[in-house]
Amino acid sequence: MKIRQLDDQEGRRTFVMVCDVGDDPVEVLTAAAKRFDLRAASLSGIGAFSGVTLGFFDRARRDYRRRVIREQVEVVSLLGNVALDRGEPRIHAHIVVGRADGEALGGHLLGGTVDPTLEITVVEEPASLQRRTDPATGLALIELDWTR
């Protein structure tokens, strides 16, 4: 993964990341968030995977149903955010991927294998966002009462 900071205006940094073949996007985003001490950020991206794991949150099970796609797909849209969870940056990203026949599949991005590239823009906010576990769902949700 290569990363370049494009801008820094009043605590609002903008980065562009280019993932290498074989990178897992969740792992490289988490590593970058730790490296640059990101506490609140939004992210977007495009690219392709040779395989990807999508998740759909099942409220009854309080867990993600996994869907593993083992084929080349285009990343049509990758959107997400970075917030702190127990003091560590956590990536929350959703993705839509397209198959060769035009079928689109989407969900929570649980992991993937970049091939040939994934280009991500990360825009930091000059604040902190905190996640707290919601007792009703078990999900770590952004809690605005903790935002500063």
Domain boundaries, the chain: 2-146
Strand extents, DSSP E, the chain: 2-9, 12-19, 40-58, 63-69, 73-85, 88-98, 104-124, 130-133, 140-142
Structure tokens at 14: 């903008």
The whole-number pLDDT of residue 72 equals 99
Contacts of 87 (CB under 8 A, 6+ apart): none
pTM over 0.85: yes
Structure tokens at 22: 């074989």
Nearest to 48 by CA among 120, 110, 142: 120
Cα(138)–Cα(115) distance, integer angstroms: 33
The whole-number pLDDT of residue 145 equals 79
The whole-number pLDDT of residue 146 equals 58
Mean pLDDT, consecutive 10-residue stretches, the chain (148 aa), reads 96 97 98 97 99 97 97 99 97 99 99 99 95 94 76
| Topology (CATH level 3) of domain 2-146 | 60s Ribosomal Protein L30; Chain: A; (3.30.1330)
Nearest to 131 by CA among 91, 77, 73, 78: 91
Nearest to 79 by CA among 23, 25, 22: 25
| Residue 102: Cβ-neighbour burial (10 angstroms; 0-12, 13-18, 19+) | exposed
